[in-house]
Amino acid sequence: MAVVSKLTLPWNTEAGYGALAFDGTLRLNAALVAHAGLSESDVETGKARAQEKVARRVQLLRGDRPFPDLSQRSAILVDDGLASGFTLMVAIEALRHQKAGEIVVAVPTAHTESATRIAPLVEALYCPNLREGTSFAVADAYQEWSDVAEESVVTLLRDAALR
């Protein structure tokens, strides 16, 4: 489980200006930080929130089990879609730090520009629904959209492990 959290704007929890991965890999979108007028304090607060979220989710989803050795294995990253692709780029970078043998990305929808940025970073990218336009939100590609609660994810993973 490659847990990554975006650093969100204080006034919009869907818009991110950076991302933090399970291994501490952190990237900020400096242009967006400047454009949004975020102070150093805003960024530090965002990083702290993301660190807490990542640590909580790693503990919840992985527990005390160590991160697997990926040096001779493929890693498959799955996400609900790519808007900017920034969070997924951080996940890819973190898996490269873990020496993943091969990284494959599977997403149901993406903005064409984001898919174009991600494709050279991985060995394969699968996305059946590419979209264009000046405004793209992942949720727009779905007929029905809702966030999945962490507890539901734990239950789904537990049930899958029992099969």
Q: Which two tokens stand for residue 90?
A: 């951080």
Tens digits of pLDDT across the chain (163 residues): 899 999 999 888 778 899 999 999 999 999 999 999 999 999 999 999 999 999 999 999 888 888 889 988 999 999 999 988 989 999 999 999 999 989 999 999 999 999 999 999 999 999 999 999 887 778 888 888 888 888 898 888 888 888 7
pLDDT, residue 46, reads: 95
pLDDT, residue 16, reads: 87
pLDDT, residue 135, reads: 74
pLDDT, residue 163, reads: 78
| Element at 141 (helix H, strand E) | none
Separation CA 4–CA 16 (nearest Å): 12
Separation CA 162–CA 122 (nearest Å): 31
pLDDT, residue 137, reads: 78
Instruction: Using alpha carbons, select from 33, 48, 120 the residue that is nearest to residue 85.
Output: 120
Task: Phi first, then psi: give them for residue 19, nearest 5 degrees.
Answer: -150, 150
Domain spans of the chain, in order of start: 4-161
3-class DSSP state of 79: coil
3-class DSSP state of 146: coil
Architecture of domain 4-161: 3-Layer(aba) Sandwich (3.40)
Separation CA 51–CA 22 (nearest Å): 8
